[in-house]
Structure 1
Amino acid sequence: MRPHARTGRGCSASGSRPRGAGGARAMIARRLLLGASLAAPFVTRAQGFPDRPIRYVSPFPPGATNDNVSRVMTRALGPRLGVPVVVENKAGAGGAVGARLVAEAKPDGHTLLNASAGNLTIAPHLSAVGYDPLRDLAPIASAGEAYSLVAVHPSVPVQTLPELIALGRRRPGFLNYSSAGIGSAGHLRGALLADEGRFEAVHVPFPGSAPAANSVVAGDCHLIIDPIAAPHVQSGRLRALATLGPDRWDAFPDLPTAGELGIGREWPGSGWFGLFAPGGTPEPVIARLNRDFNDSLEEAEVAAALRRFGLKPEPISPAELGRRVAADHAAIGAALRRLRIA
């Protein structure tokens, strides 16, 4: 604030600039009041959140692991948020259709995405998905790391993962693997397995992990790498060869990890499920959702349900999830180019 000219004349009460320390304080107070009035709509919107039902978009069909996780979390979040939280399945393009819907939604926290690693770190490298996962979606929280099973139809004459690789080498192009679609985690892992094992395999994409698993159960496909194989393995309809994950899966304690067999240790990225909002969603809304989501993961029933679907619940901050997405996006992009999938 500029000092007054020293003319010896006082400021009139009609609105001239006040003088001295008292005048400076008055000017600062007016500026603070103006700033508060400009910010009021954003503060009110955050404080009033949520004020209507929340759309919880699962970008895969009903029955997929993403859908199962979405339904567990919406049941837990609804009572905490005080409004209905409703799953909407918007499948297509390896999860990109649902992700784009959320990326283009109003950034007020009432439209959320239950993302799988694939539709944020794989699909954007394979086609023009219409969104930038690092800019157009705001990370909120993670439901945890996802285990997967490498499982085959019982007619495939192998009992272990090394035996599967040996079969693939003996019969180039014979093996095929199903996945939840082009750009899904199962697609990438199948390609990585064939690359590391030095054999040819045919990718057969389906619109979701449930039909992909059913195709192996029916014997139409040989192999799937997905957590949704778990109930089929437990019922004897599929044979599990190994798990993928940070350690052994509690549901299959006697089954070795691929890493224990010397396979997949350098594969980029990881399987995870995370909650995202449109980019530009106010920070207080993100913080509220992160807190309620992480608190839900501490509930015994929620944690047990997620483990049944192959997840290891993991409360983390939005910043931690954002760093994970960025790191996986870069590493997977490089792998896809090397594999000539991108």
Structure 2
Amino acid sequence: MIRRRLLLGAALAVPALAAARAQGPSHGEYPDRPIRYLCPYPPGATNDNVSRTMSRALSPRLGVPVVVENKAGAGGTVGSRLVAEAKPDGYTLLNASAGNLTIAPHLSRVGYDPLRDLVPVALAGEAYSLVAVNPKLGVSTLAELIALARRRPGFLNYASSGIGSAGHLRGALLMEAAGVEAVHVPFPGSAAAATSVITGDCHLIIDPIAAPHAAEGRLQPLATVGAERWEDFAGVPTLIEQGFGRDWPVSGWFGLFAPRGTPEPVIARLNREFNESLAQPEVNAALRRFGLKPEPISPEELARRTAADHAAIGATLRRLDIA
């Protein structure tokens, strides 16, 4: 009798279980264990700062630890490839930047297709950048920097967070537009690049990470990159105001991506929690300190932006003969 009741109960449960599975995962089913949040750059880089800000915001909202793992190398492509090859279950995510998705894949074989193998989830925001130099260089405006480069051909160099980074391409575009030359010096992350300019080993950097150093006097800001002035540096003119950068295709942004095949309900949940986190005053303020303008958008909007940047930057790299 007991066995017949157990069998009957199991038979009745099968249709209900099948129906629940057909409906897809509910909030109670995902997530049910810690999430790996890969930062493809070293600790201290802008990408790392954004990763840690968002992981702290997402953990209580998702009810599980969101653990940042730094997987640096090859201009952010090592960590990106790890996520592209991960199981598409929502438990391995990437804090991507424009550089490792829209620039680096044009320069070398990175092992993943950024438009096919990674799924856009959410955008942390557009990144303002500062054009900044070591104060001891003796220039306080962009015009003075360009004049120095013309007086001393081959003297200037600029630091970036790696080959294929936004800072690399922006430096090349600025030198082309100004008609001067400067040597590109790549570093394994923006923190190391900024340090090289602060110590005087390099002269120039174009990166969001320059902001806190400029605010404290360790770097001299010459221009901001963006359509409008940066609120925290209202006295610093944009590149566009100074005749540069109006048609540059380099969009600096940071966003959340997942492996191809990640279930739509998981993407939707992550997008909602991420976007709602951006509205929290402490999260918003932290991202702005790192040079971002928080911007909640849909996965579809981020996909369109990524594809457009990828195409435009590819054309620019070919024109500049950067390989």
TM range (shorter): over 0.9
Equivalent of residue 304 in structure 2, options 316, 320, 323: 323
Question: How is 1:14-93 mapped onto 2 (pairs within 5 angstroms)?
Answer: 37=18, 40=21, 43-44=24-25, 48-93=29-74
Distance 2:116 2:178 in 1: 36
- The number of equivalent residue pairs is 309
Distance 1:177 1:42 in 2: 53
**2:194 paired with 1:210:** no
> Which structure 2 segments of 5+ residues have no match?
1-13
Distance 2:114 2:236 in 1: 35
Distance 2:181 2:235 in 1: 29
**2:164 paired with 1:183:** yes
Q: Which residue of 2 aligns with 1:284?
A: 265
**Shift in Å, 1:238:** 1.1
> Which structure 1 segments of 5+ residues have no match?
1-32
Equivalent of residue 224 in structure 1, options 182, 205, 211: 205
* Paired residue type of 1:255: V
C-alpha distance 39-132 of structure 1, shift in aligned 2 (>3 A): farther
Give me the TM-score of the superposition, normalised by structure 2. Answer: 0.92
C-alpha distance 77-241 of structure 1, shift in aligned 2 (>3 A): same
Stretch moving more, 50-59 or 169-178: 169-178
Kindly provide the CA deviation profile for residues 123-164 of structure 1, in whole angstroms up to 9, marking residues without a partner as x.
000110000000000000000100000000112232111221
CA contact (8 A) 2:157 2:202 kept: yes
Give me the TM-score of the superposition, normalised by structure 1. Answer: 0.87
C-alpha distance 46-224 of structure 1, shift in aligned 2 (>3 A): same
Classify the secondary structure of the residue corresponding to 1:231: helix
Distance 2:18 2:295 in 1: 39
CA contact (8 A) 2:227 2:240 kept: no
* Paired residue type of 1:160: T
Q: Which residue of 2 aligns with 1:8?
A: none
Classify the secondary structure of the residue corresponding to 1:122: helix
Equivalent of residue 274 in structure 1, options 233, 249, 255: 255
CA contact (8 A) 1:46 1:282 kept: no
CA contact (8 A) 2:118 2:257 kept: yes
**2:222 paired with 1:241:** yes
CA contact (8 A) 1:151 1:223 kept: yes
**2:118 paired with 1:137:** yes
Distance 1:286 1:246 in 2: 30
C-alpha distance 53-41 of structure 1, shift in aligned 2 (>3 A): farther
**Shift in Å, 1:231:** 1.6
Distance 2:277 2:258 in 1: 18
What RMSD over aligned residues (CA atoms) do the two structures have, in Å? 1.7
C-alpha distance 246-39 of structure 1, shift in aligned 2 (>3 A): farther
Kindly provide the CA deviation profile for residues 296-323 of structure 1, in whole angstroms up to 9, marking residues without a partner as x.
0010000000000000000000000000
CA contact (8 A) 1:55 1:86 kept: yes
CA contact (8 A) 1:65 1:309 kept: yes
Distance 2:180 2:259 in 1: 41
Over 6 Å off, 4+ runs: none
**Shift in Å, 1:46:** 7.6
Classify the secondary structure of the residue corresponding to 2:229: coil
Classify the secondary structure of the residue corresponding to 2:227: coil
Kindly provide the CA deviation profile for residues 77-115 of structure 1, in whole angstroms up to 9, marking residues without a partner as x.
000000000000000111000000000000011100000
Equivalent of residue 277 in structure 2, options 266, 274, 296: 296
Distance 1:98 1:275 in 2: 13
CA contact (8 A) 1:42 1:282 kept: no
* Paired residue type of 1:296: S
Equivalent of residue 168 in structure 1, options 130, 141, 149: 149
